[in-house]
Amino acid sequence: MTEAFLVGGVRTPTGRYAGALSSVRPDDLAGLVVREAVERSGVDPEAIDEVILGCVNQSGEDNRNVARMASLLAGLPVSVPGLTVNRLCASGLSAILLASQMIKSGAADVVVAGGVESMSRAPWVMAKPEKAFGRPGELADTSLGWRFTNPRFREQEKTTFSMPETAEEVSRLEGISREDADAFAVASHRRALAAVAAGRFADEILPVETKAGLFEIDEGPRPGTSLDALAGLRSVVRPGGVVTAGNSSSLNDGASAIVVASERAVRRFSMVPRARVVDGASAGVAPEVMGLGPVPATEKVLARVGWDVGSLGAVELNEAFATQALACIRRLGLDEGTVNNDGGAIALGHALGSSGARITVTMLGRMEREGADRGLATMCVGVGQGTAMLLERV
C-alpha cells in the first residue's frame, strides 16, 4: 500500500473572538494558508489532486464549499477541485485523514488538507416562516452550539446538552475537582507562554495582515493566569460547578493547512516529508459525554496498528475543556509529560474547523524538537464523537 506523508504545514496565529483576525474573512484566511502550504512544500500546483478543508459553521462567508473558494483565492489552477468536510471540532483532523486515505488508496498523489473557522464572523441566522408571508422563525447565533434543534432530540434532555454542560457531566463521572481543572488550565497557559517566548511556534505561523496591522502571535495565552485568578471565576453550568470560562477553550478564529503526498510525489518534487500518517479512526460516545470521544477513537486505532500508549512520544489532545482533557489522559493512561507540551486549546484557542490541522502542525514541530518517533493527535467532537490519528516521524 502507498504511504501518505505530511510535508510542510502552516497555520495562522489564533485570534480571540472579536479580536485580531475578526476583520479577515474565513475564505481569505483559508486561501492564505493553502497558498503558503503549497509554496513551502515545493510541489507544482498543477500536480495537486484535491484541496480538502474542515469547516464547522459554514453559515456565512465560509458557505458554498470554502475549500473550493480557498483554492481559487490561493491562486491554484482552476482544475484543482475542493472539498469541505464537517466533523465539528475534528473537521481539520478528518480532512487530513481523508487526504491520507486518498493517497494510500492510489486515488491521489498530492492533497492539500487543513481547516478554517471564523467564529467572530459567524452570522446570526433566521429560520424561514413555515407559511407564505408568515412571521420570521427562530433566530440563532451560528458561532457555537445547537440551532434549529430537532424536536425529537429536545425530548432527550442530555442529547442537547451545551458544550459546558457536557464538560460538567464528565467532571461528575470522573470525579474531577475544580482545583484539578484550574491547575490544568494554568499549566496550559504556562506551557503556551513558554513556547511563544522560546519561538517554538515561529516556523509554523504565517503572519496575517489585518486592518489593525500585522498579526503574528496567538492572542490566547495570558501571562496573568494563576490558580488564585481562576478560583475567582464563576461556574458557567451550576453553582459550585467545575467548568468556568478559565478552564475551557474559547471562541476563536484561524486557519491551517498541510500537504499530504505519496512517496512518488515526494520523490518527483524533491519534497521533504516530516512524518507518515500511520492510521486514523473515529468513534462515537453518548452526546452528553462528548469529551470522552478521544478514548475509544484512540483505543481503536492503537489496536488496529498494534501500538500501545507507552510508545507515544508526543500527544496533542485538544483541550476543549480541562475536565475532558484530564478524563481522557486518565482513561487512556497517557504519560502527562508527552501531552500538549506547548500548551493546548485552553491557552492557544480553538478555532473549530482549523483545530485538528493546527494540532497536527504543532505536533510535527514537537516531534522534531523532542526526538519523538511516534505521535498521536486526537480530538473530542460535539454530539458525541472522537477522532484520532497516529503519526510516525521520518
User: Model confidence over 214-241: pLDDT tens digits?
Assistant: 999 999 999 999 999 999 999 999 999 9
Is 89 noted as a catalytic residue in this protein?
yes
Q: Which three cell numbers stand for residue 61?
A: 462567508
Helix axes 178-197, 322-332, angle to 10 degrees: 90
Q: What is the pLDDT of residue 114?
A: 98
pLDDT at 155 exceeding the cut of 90:
no
Dump pLDDT digits (tens) for 2-40: 999 999 999 999 999 999 999 999 999 999 999 999 999
Dump pLDDT digits (tens) for 270-314: 999 999 999 999 999 999 999 999 999 999 999 999 999 999 999
Q: Is 385 helix (H, G, I), strand (E, B) or coil?
A: strand
Range 144-166 average pLDDT: 92
From 55, 89, 189, 328, the catalytic residue:
89
pLDDT band at 154 (very low <50, low <70, confident <90, very high): confident
Q: What is the pLDDT of residue 8?
A: 97
- Contact at 8 Å (CB) between 77 and 45? yes
**Structure-model confidence comparison of residues 135 and 171, the more confident one:** 171
pLDDT at 156 exceeding the cut of 90:
no
Is 189 noted as a catalytic residue in this protein?
no
pLDDT at 136 exceeding the cut of 90:
no
Q: What is the pLDDT of residue 1?
A: 80
How much is the mean pLDDT over the chain? Answer: 97
d(CA 376, CA 221) in angstroms, rounded, equals 23
From 55, 189, 328, 350, the catalytic residue:
350
Per DSSP (E only), the strands in the chain are: 4-11, 15-16, 50-54, 82-85, 110-118, 124-126, 139-141, 208-210, 213-215, 252-262, 273-284, 314-317, 374-381, 385-393
Dump pLDDT digits (tens) for 57-83: 999 999 999 999 999 999 999 999 999
Q: Which three cell numbers stand for residue 211?
A: 486592518
Range 174-188 average pLDDT: 98
d(CA 52, CA 68) in angstroms, rounded, equals 8
Dump pLDDT digits (tens) for 248-269: 999 999 999 999 999 999 999 9
Q: What is the pLDDT of residue 157?
A: 82
Dump pLDDT digits (tens) for 84-126: 999 999 999 999 999 999 999 999 999 999 999 999 999 999 9
Q: What is the pLDDT of residue 113?
A: 99
Q: For residue 99, give the nearest of 87, 88, 108 by alpha carbon.
A: 108
Helix, strand, coil percentages, rounded to 5, for the chain: 40, 25, 35
Task: Please give the torsion angle defined by the CA atoms of residues 305, 308, 311 and 314, in that order, rounded to the nearest 10 degrees.
Answer: 80
